Structure 1
Amino acid sequence: MRRLIAFPCAGDTLIGAIDDAAATTGLLIVSGGNEVRAGAHRGMAMLAANIAAAGFPVLRYDRRGVGDSAGENRGFRYAQDDLAAAVATFRAEVPGVDRIVGFGNCDAASTLALFGRDAGIDRVLLANPWVIEDDDDLPPAAAIRARYAERLRSRSAWSRLLRGEIDLRKTVRGLAKLSRTKPHPSNRLATRVIRAIADWDDDATVILASGDATAIAYRDVARGLPATTIDTDSHSFARSNDKEALRAEVVNALRR
């Protein structure tokens, strides 16, 4: 059964949804970017329903200033109070829960890595953690390098270039970005997130979409930290096979 809830956070009111189930381990889903709790194409809502059907209760919520929740949206770097309020509410609303696994994609994964332990989360599943400081509209440099390497090996890419089907202006901008970007740039956010993930030790599982630009940028700075890879270029694991692979990873974590 799914039910809506409201709970306080630093003087504002957050809105969430609980999918009830009987297990004593629960899943807390944190939304990435400025997405509402339903997720891209309702992906998180469907994941919650599937996980509850497997026997585990699930809480999703909108952080301050997003979706149905009140307050100012200050971004993932300032979502610590929201996360702590959601954890406390989960335990109060589902008193049988004695262990919480947090799941987030993109900057929600970074929120969990940085603040999850202090919020009272026992284990985290971090999909495509956000470690990018750039504020332009281009992919991260690591993803540009990977894409160009792929194109240089591709006959079809050369044919598309000759037919004028590749945006040369964007290509030139990408090459310019590579020329001014070191292979491993000084990146305070990446340093913080990587250190935080390492501190979780065996209580963190990183899940990467193999062809996703955010995941490629993470791998570029992760320095050998272990990760599970799902063979897709969909950042939100939108395809049916992606969804099933992600669900299996989440269920495995909940059953440990």
Structure 2
Amino acid sequence: MSRRHFTFDCEGETCFGSLDEAEGRVGLLLVSGGNELRSGAFGGQARLAAHIAAKGYPVMRYDRRGIGDSSGKNGGFRAAGPDIAAALTHFRQICPSLSRIVGFGNCDAASALMLEGGAGCDGVLLANPWTFDEDDEGPAPATIRARYAEKIRNPREWLRLLSGGVSLRKLLPGLRSAVQAGGGESTLSGEMRSTIEGFKGNLGFIIAGRDRTGKAFLESWGKDPRTSVRASADHAFSDHSDMEWLLDQLICALDEQARQFDMG
């Protein structure tokens, strides 16, 4: 397996990307979330790409405009559509044998793929999609409930309560908010639903059970049979076993695309 670096154009700006080469005819496009570089936090995306390529699937990563090495203005995830489209075009150019591409994003990178209706990918795997509206005030209902659920399950919190280490005057309003906070779909979640509902390819959601962003997505989105939850995982799937689980999910998505191609 070898890795090569390159540039490609996006609306007159120069974006930098990397390709972990492999001979497979199905490829993976990694879309970075937030203001994260294509290498990922602590090199996580780079390691992920190397593992996937070792399984026979080429992987492309890139810095969108205004991030890392790429020129231009950073417009955030809502403006990332042209960057994803340009990356897909270049991926196909440098790997002309590719028949299908799966897009993967975590957090607002997943949201960007959804807002673009899958962005031209043949399949998408979406981790912990970001559903919070920009004008949200305070924590989301799911976040409030998750915070107090964690406290209730923690024996140390009960000991603090019984020993007087917790103020009931401060605790009761929080518990009341946790009970009264309603669910419901955010404006962003509604937009994502309307733009992704016409997607014809394979779609899967993967949620980290310890991540408040993931929990908020589950509450806002509702039950969906395409969802898999890893109860032990944090937002970045940073534990070794959780990362292995994430890799398995990605390989399964790529294998499915390869099977569909082989079936004609």
User: Same fold by TM (over 0.5)?
Assistant: yes
Q: What is the deviation of 1:20?
A: 0.6
In 1, are the aligned partners of 2:117 and 2:197 still within 8 Å (CA)? Answer: no
Classify the secondary structure of the residue corresponding to 1:36. coil
Classify the secondary structure of the residue corresponding to 1:211. coil
In 1, are the aligned partners of 2:117 and 2:198 still within 8 Å (CA)? Answer: no
Q: What one-letter code is carried by the residue in structure 2 that aligns with 1:22?
A: E
Residue 147 of structure 2 is matched in structure 1 by 147
- Partner Cα separation in structure 2 for residue 55 and residue 38 of structure 1: 20
**Deviations along 1:184-219, whole A, 9 cap, x unmatched?**
25x210111233344336611100001110010000
Residue 55 of structure 2 is matched in structure 1 by 54
- Partner Cα separation in structure 2 for residue 18 and residue 111 of structure 1: 21
Q: What one-letter code is carried by the residue in structure 2 that aligns with 1:94?
A: C
Alignment of 1:38-53 (within 5 A): 38-53=39-54
- Cα 1:50–1:182 change in 2 (3 A) is same
Identity, % of aligned pairs? 46
The answer on 1:191 being equivalent to 2:190 is yes
Q: What is the deviation of 1:250?
A: 0.3
- Partner Cα separation in structure 2 for residue 198 and residue 204 of structure 1: 10
In 1, are the aligned partners of 2:116 and 2:196 still within 8 Å (CA)? Answer: no
Residue 71 of structure 2 is matched in structure 1 by 70
TM-score, with length taken from structure 1: 0.89
- Partner Cα separation in structure 2 for residue 106 and residue 51 of structure 1: 20
Q: What is the deviation of 1:158?
A: 2.2
**Deviations along 1:117-136, whole A, 9 cap, x unmatched?**
3x421100000011111567
Alignment of 1:140-179 (within 5 A): 140-160=140-160
Classify the secondary structure of the residue corresponding to 2:90. helix
Q: What one-letter code is carried by the residue in structure 1 that aligns with 2:29?
A: L
Q: What is the deviation of 1:225?
A: 1.6
Residue 223 of structure 1 is matched in structure 2 by 222
Q: What one-letter code is carried by the residue in structure 2 that aligns with 1:122?
A: D
Residue 237 of structure 1 is matched in structure 2 by 237
Residue 122 of structure 1 is matched in structure 2 by 122
Classify the secondary structure of the residue corresponding to 1:252. helix
- Cα 1:149–1:58 change in 2 (3 A) is same
In 2, are the aligned partners of 1:138 and 1:174 still within 8 Å (CA)? Answer: no
Q: What one-letter code is carried by the residue in structure 1 that aligns with 2:241?
A: N
In 2, are the aligned partners of 1:140 and 1:214 still within 8 Å (CA)? Answer: no
In 2, are the aligned partners of 1:83 and 1:116 still within 8 Å (CA)? Answer: no
Superposition CA RMSD, Å: 2.7
Classify the secondary structure of the residue corresponding to 2:35. coil
Q: What is the deviation of 1:108?
A: 0.3
- Partner Cα separation in structure 2 for residue 151 and residue 172 of structure 1: 13
Residue 205 of structure 1 is matched in structure 2 by 204
- Cα 1:255–1:163 change in 2 (3 A) is same
In 2, are the aligned partners of 1:101 and 1:124 still within 8 Å (CA)? Answer: yes
- Partner Cα separation in structure 1 for residue 125 and residue 201 of structure 2: 11
- Partner Cα separation in structure 2 for residue 8 and residue 45 of structure 1: 22
- Partner Cα separation in structure 1 for residue 197 and residue 169 of structure 2: 39
Q: What one-letter code is carried by the residue in structure 2 that aligns with 1:148?
A: Y
Q: Which structure's CA Rg is the greater one?
A: 2
- Partner Cα separation in structure 2 for residue 168 and residue 18 of structure 1: 56
**Unaligned regions of 5+ residues in structure 2, if any?**
257-264
- Partner Cα separation in structure 1 for residue 167 and residue 139 of structure 2: 14
- Partner Cα separation in structure 2 for residue 251 and residue 157 of structure 1: 40
**Unaligned regions of 5+ residues in structure 1, if any?**
none
In 1, are the aligned partners of 2:233 and 2:242 still within 8 Å (CA)? Answer: no
Of 227-236 and 101-110, deviating more is 227-236
- Partner Cα separation in structure 2 for residue 12 and residue 239 of structure 1: 36
Q: What is the deviation of 1:116?
A: 5.0
Alignment of 1:3-152 (within 5 A): 3-117=4-118, 119-133=119-133, 139-152=139-152
Q: What is the deviation of 1:152?
A: 2.6
Of 224-233 and 130-139, deviating more is 130-139
